[in-house]
């Protein structure tokens, strides 16, 4: 088993890599090589003979040809320009999110055997006039450039699978909470920051009102979802290669309440509000409630609740809640 993770230097990609190395197998086959592909990598890369890191631009076909060797058996395609950045810089989003996907897919056609490809899509695929609860029959109608780029990529993954070039599966990810470190350019960055900063003793100005709802999933669950999606046989997917992952609906107010319960009133008081109309306009287009019967039937799971998500973050990241 020879695996490539694009976006492997990012938070989720790096967590996935460590989980795969610890597990040692994928689809019941021994992992012989794991290549991380990104523009930069964490300083604490594991010293493992199976692991390699390759820095470059995934939208450059020449670089992608070096990253995805002919004997590659599995690809996790996570590399992307995130939502807020893709909206602010249309050309960059198109180059990386669509050009990168096309470069990856074109390279898969040169593999000895059609590789299994898991694509990180997003619930930003949905927007516009939506029902109160979305389900597997809801038609994507993205209202951001990022969402549009994800939907086009989903169609490409499905068509390349239909043609037999790859065995693809696309996961529409909820907002991933809690991400450690500093906020990035994603419009969803607030959903981690509103938990992370007060727990670490830092004051935080939330750019969205307390009633803002988020459809979310923890880092633990999303890593499990990537591996589970890969290991499911192609027959389980059939012709429909896209699934909405399960999540939980939580408002900003409920996140703050959970912080107070876990870390005390002082932590909760570190959150204040300063509306950012640009972020609000993007986030308002995102759905917050899903019925995910297909994902459940395929064996994907959500978190138990926001309290569990926060406690897992504290445990996984070694946070000493302030």
Rounded distance between C-alpha atoms, residue 15 and residue 37, angstroms: 14
Residue 155 falls in the annotated catalytic set: no
10 to 37, 39, 99: CA distances (angstroms): 10, 9, 19
The active-site residue out of 146, 155, 204, 313 is 146
Give me the numbers of helices (H) and strands (E) for the chain, helices first please: 14, 14
- Count Cβ atoms within 10 A of the Cβ of residue 62 and give its class: 0-12 exposed, 13-18 middle, 19 or more buried: exposed
Which distant-in-sequence residues (6+ apart) come within 8 Å of 103 by Cβ? 58, 59, 60, 61, 64
Place of tokens 């297909």: 294
Which distant-in-sequence residues (6+ apart) come within 8 Å of 224 by Cβ? 301
- Count Cβ atoms within 10 A of the Cβ of residue 170 and give its class: 0-12 exposed, 13-18 middle, 19 or more buried: buried
* Closest to 217 in 3D by CA, of 122, 302, 312: 302
Which distant-in-sequence residues (6+ apart) come within 8 Å of 238 by Cβ? none
The catalytic residue positions are 146
């Amino acid at each position: 088993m020879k695996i490539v993770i694009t976006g492997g230097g990012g938070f989720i990609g790096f967590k996935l890599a460590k989980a795969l190395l610890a597990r040692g197998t994928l689809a019941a086959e021994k992992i012989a090589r794991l290549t991380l592909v990104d523009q930069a990598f964490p300083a604490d890369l594991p010293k493992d003979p199976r692991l390699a890191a390759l820095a470059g631009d995934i939208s450059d076909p020449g670089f992608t040809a070096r990253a995805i060797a002919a004997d590659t058996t599995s690809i996790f395609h996570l590399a992307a320009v995130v939502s807020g950045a893709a909206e602010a810089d249309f050309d960059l989003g198109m180059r990386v999110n669509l050009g990168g996907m096309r470069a990856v897919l074109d390279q898969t056609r040169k593999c000895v055997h059609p590789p299994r490809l898991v694509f990180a899509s997003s619930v930003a695929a949905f927007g516009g006039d939506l029902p109160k609860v979305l389900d597997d029959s809801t038609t994507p109608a993205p209202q951001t450039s990022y969402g549009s780029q994800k939907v086009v990529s989903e169609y490409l993954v499905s068509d390349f699978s239909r043609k037999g070039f790859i065995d693809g599966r696309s996961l529409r990810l909820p907002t991933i909470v809690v991400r450690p470190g500093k906020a990035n350019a994603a419009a969803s960055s607030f959903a981690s920051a509103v938990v992370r900063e007060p727990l670490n003793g830092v004051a935080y100005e939330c750019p969205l009102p307390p009633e803002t709802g988020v459809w979310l999933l923890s880092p633990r669950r999303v890593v499990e979802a990537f591996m589970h999606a890969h290991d499911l046989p192609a027959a389980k997917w059939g012709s429909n290669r896209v699934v909405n992952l399960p999540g939980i609906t939580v408002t900003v107010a409920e996140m703050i309440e959970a912080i107070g319960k876990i870390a005390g009133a002082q932590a909760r008081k570190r959150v204040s509000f300063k509306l950012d109309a640009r972020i609000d306009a993007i986030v308002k287009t995102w759905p917050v409630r899903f019925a995910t019967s297909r994902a459940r039937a395929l064996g994907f799971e959500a978190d138990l609740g926001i309290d569990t998500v926060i406690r897992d973050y504290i445990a996984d990241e070694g946070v000493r809640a302030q």
